[in-house]
Chains A and B, each alone.
Chain A
Amino acid sequence: MLEDYLRNKLQSQPLLVMTHLVAGYPSLEDNWRMLEAMRDAGVALVELQFPFSEPIADGPVFVRANQLALQQGMNGERYFDFMRRAAREFEFPLLYMGYYNPVFRLGGQRFCDALKDAGGRGYIIADLPPELAVDLDVKAREAGLDPIHLMTPANSEARLREIAVNAAGFVYCVARKGVTGRQTALGLDVTDYLDRCRKATGLPIGLGFGIRTTEDLRQLKGHADIAIIGTACLEIWEQEGEQAYRDYLHALQKAAGRN
């Protein structure tokens, strides 16, 4: 399972790097080159976002990427084909990331079967709270998939414990209020928050939303197990190109390693 894989990795590296891409944006060919760069840098885990027309938890960069990916014809069949090819080629585990409606339309069982068949290892669904995810999570576990749940700094202690009940693999801790993209100032409040999350779950802990600099990663060591970088990667790909993207991933991975 994902948790064992992560624990194993964490023995040789204090902080793992998880990256993200929006499937179909800028194109599946570009996505493939992103995955190659992630492999070459030593990324531990990758989320493939399935685009949705109403991405309420995403900031402007991903909103646009979701929209353009759909306009360019991204759909379920292409998504799972791409995941299948990627799962064969790359060693890092792949996660489905997206919104609930495409999962709901496909049906929970068919979604889990399709994800498993494509070589995916779990899912992160941005608008499905744990109490509404129970049926899907049961099907996922039966299929050997890990439902990843999200904790946030707005949650009470009681709610954090509720979220932990059905979580598997690791817990995705949202670093701050708001949507994806905007820079997060890492300070004492974030480390306190991560400590609160640790008390609620024994799973490895990932921190995402607004994580972008090597300095961020250095600060997270000893507090989080996984640094999750999304928007910053896509911005560099768009603005500075492939080589800069590769350099950036290497720098992140280096910052996450032992000093």
Chain B
Amino acid sequence: MSMKKFEELFQFEPGREGFYGEYGGAYIPEILHETLAELTRAFENARRDPAFWREYAELMGSYSCRPTPITRCDNLSRQYDIDIFLKREDLNHTGAHKANNVLGQGLLVRRMGKKRVIAETGAGQHGVATATMAAKLGFECTIYMGAVDVERQRPNVFWMEQLGAQVVAVEDGTRTLKDAINAAMRDWCASMADTHYVLGTVCGPHPFPLMVTYFQSIIGREARDQMLRIQGRLPDRVYACVGGGSNASGIFAGFLDDKVELVGVEAGGLGLDTHQHAARIAGHDACAGVAQGYRTYFIQDAEGQMRETHSISAGLDYIGVGPILAWLHDSGRIRFAAATDQEVIQAFKTLVRQEGIIPALESSHAIAQVLKEAPAMPRGTTVLINLSGRGDKDIFTIAEALADERWLEFLRRKVAAAG
């Protein structure tokens, strides 16, 4: 397969290393300069070593069910007279595409000879994935998580601790994902000699956006081959939800050179006119800025202070977006759209009932956008959706949104029994 445009991501003009157009870069405290240079070198060496990718693919096969299958949504396809396929990243170990990134970085950490890993987490998925990797590969592990998220996502905190990770509740700022990233950066500023920061998405300073895209590209590489085999043709459109943008970057990477429309779906929250959303690009509510080590579109005020965001899904509730995606948007390669919380709940219910698949609320954004656009699609259109994660983790949020009385009764009984 041709990966020309993907390979071009790794080429930089002199003096513009880590930049994609105006976006990206490494806006970091000087203390991290040599650490990021070391990481960039280690990543480049690994990338040029065919044995490294082989080791990675083998690990993903034996530990994380790769290659993940593609499933045709027979009932929805019939209803709209189009072909809808799902790339099943929900079937990865720990239930989401996050495993692709953490295991890749874990192998890199082993090559660099470091003994401790740290990570930020929002909903907890990346934290759990990192904690499993640390347990398997034998690293010490500290996870930074906003105090608000620790409250909201206790089950994931429970699993991280069971896996041997130390979970630090971050009390700064809005006490959510962005503050967890800041806290992890601060840890790294002191601990970098023996510690690697396993950043969970395609954001942050160079080389993270590129490195995470590289590991996640396993999704797109597989999906392209699978579509050709199953359907005999490439999809017309590929949809993926975009928080930081790692699952979208991964699936889009396989189709950059093809005549395939790529659609990134952001969190429309309570609606794009409310400011209660995280639609940086589709919401026209963000502008270029520099924070958390990189330059991209941020949701911020006129003076450059970050604003609060909202989404029903913790994984999309973030101020910035991957710089490679921002650049691909500006150059017209990716179209951005947004789905509201309400549309997402509807889409979630539709997929569960019609196809027997329980999607994560994050992934349900991509499904919602397809369901919105499907009635206007030409007959026979082939659509591929990246089902980035499974929805089991969202049981508390979804049961609350659906106001499921029997679930609430169950919680009351549990609380009483523990009381």
Q: Contacts A56-B182, A56-B292, A127-B293 given: A104-B304 contact, CB under 8 Å?
A: yes
A-side contacts of B191, CB under 8 Å: 177
Q: Contacts A155-B34, A179-B186 given: A132-B27 contact, CB under 8 Å?
A: yes
A-side contacts of B293, CB under 8 Å: 56, 127
Report how far A127 CA is from B289 CA in the complex, Å: 13
Contact between B189 and A100, CB atoms less than 8 A apart: no
Contact between B304 and A105, CB atoms less than 8 A apart: yes
Indicate if A14 sits at the interface (CB-CB under 8 A): no
Q: Which of A63, A128, A163 contacts B27, CB < 8 Å?
A: A128
Contact between B190 and A177, CB atoms less than 8 A apart: yes
B-side contacts of A154, CB under 8 Å: 30-35, 192
Report how far A179 CA is from B33 CA in the complex, Å: 14
A-side contacts of B304, CB under 8 Å: 52, 101-102, 104-106
A-side contacts of B189, CB under 8 Å: 56-57, 177-179
Contact between A127 and B29, CB atoms less than 8 A apart: yes
Report how far A126 CA is from B293 CA in the complex, Å: 11
Report how far A100 CA is from B300 CA in the complex, Å: 14
Report how far A60 CA is from B173 CA in the complex, Å: 11
Report how far A259 CA is from B45 CA in the complex, Å: 55
**Chain B interface residue number, banded:** 35 or more
Indicate if B290 sits at the interface (CB-CB under 8 A): yes
Contact between A70 and B305, CB atoms less than 8 A apart: yes
**Residue interface bits B289-328, CB-to-A below 8 A is 1, else 0:** 1111100001010111110000000000000000000000
B-side contacts of A4, CB under 8 Å: none
Contact between A127 and B172, CB atoms less than 8 A apart: no
How far does the Cβ of A57 sit from chain B's closest Cβ, in whole Å? 4
Q: Contacts A152-B30, A154-B192 given: A101-B186 contact, CB under 8 Å?
A: no
Indicate if A59 sits at the interface (CB-CB under 8 A): yes
How far does the Cβ of B20 sit from chain A's closest Cβ, in whole Å? 15
B-side contacts of A191, CB under 8 Å: none
Chain B 178-237 residues near chain A, CB threshold 8 A = 178, 182, 185-186, 189-193
**Chain A interface residue number, banded:** 35 or more
Chain B 6-34 residues near chain A, CB threshold 8 A = 15, 25-34
Q: Which of B33, B185, B193, B292 lies at the interface centre, i.e. has the most chain A CB atoms within 10 A of its CB?
A: B33
B-side contacts of A149, CB under 8 Å: 30
Q: Contacts A56-B292, A101-B289, A129-B26 given: A174-B31 contact, CB under 8 Å?
A: yes
Q: Contacts A54-B306, A56-B186, A105-B304 given: A129-B290 contact, CB under 8 Å?
A: no
Closest to B170 in A: A63
Contact between A163 and B30, CB atoms less than 8 A apart: yes
**Residue interface bits A46-60, CB-to-B below 8 A is 1, else 0:** 000000111111111
Q: Contacts A129-B27, A159-B34, A177-B190 given: A64-B290 contact, CB under 8 Å?
A: no
Indicate if A201 sits at the interface (CB-CB under 8 A): no
Q: Contacts A67-B172, A70-B305 given: A54-B292 contact, CB under 8 Å?
A: yes
A-side contacts of B28, CB under 8 Å: 56, 127, 129
A-side contacts of B290, CB under 8 Å: 100-101, 104, 127
Contact between B30 and A129, CB atoms less than 8 A apart: yes
How far does the Cβ of A109 sit from chain B's closest Cβ, in whole Å? 16
Contact between B186 and A100, CB atoms less than 8 A apart: no
Contact between B173 and A53, CB atoms less than 8 A apart: yes
B-side contacts of A240, CB under 8 Å: none
Report how far A76 CA is from B292 CA in the complex, Å: 21
Closest to A152 in B: B31
B-side contacts of A13, CB under 8 Å: none
Q: Which of B32, B178, B193 lies at the interface centre, i.e. has the most chain A CB atoms within 10 A of its CB?
A: B32
B-side contacts of A126, CB under 8 Å: 29
Q: Which of A60, A101, A163, A174 lies at the interface centre, i.e. has the most chain B CB atoms within 10 A of its CB?
A: A101
B-side contacts of A150, CB under 8 Å: 29-30
Contact between A105 and B289, CB atoms less than 8 A apart: yes
How far does the Cβ of A217 sit from chain B's closest Cβ, in whole Å? 23
Report how far A55 CA is from B293 CA in the complex, Å: 11
Report how far A67 CA is from B170 CA in the complex, Å: 14
Report how far A77 CA is from B209 CA in the complex, Å: 35
Contact between B33 and A155, CB atoms less than 8 A apart: yes
B-side contacts of A54, CB under 8 Å: 173, 178, 182, 291-292, 306
B-side contacts of A57, CB under 8 Å: 29, 186, 189
How far does the Cβ of A171 sit from chain B's closest Cβ, in whole Å? 11
Indicate if A166 sits at the interface (CB-CB under 8 A): no
Closest to A55 in B: B182
Q: Contacts A56-B185, A104-B304 given: A151-B292 contact, CB under 8 Å?
A: no
What 6 pairs between A and B have smallest CB-CB spacing?
A178-B190, A105-B304, A101-B304, A57-B29, A102-B304, A152-B31
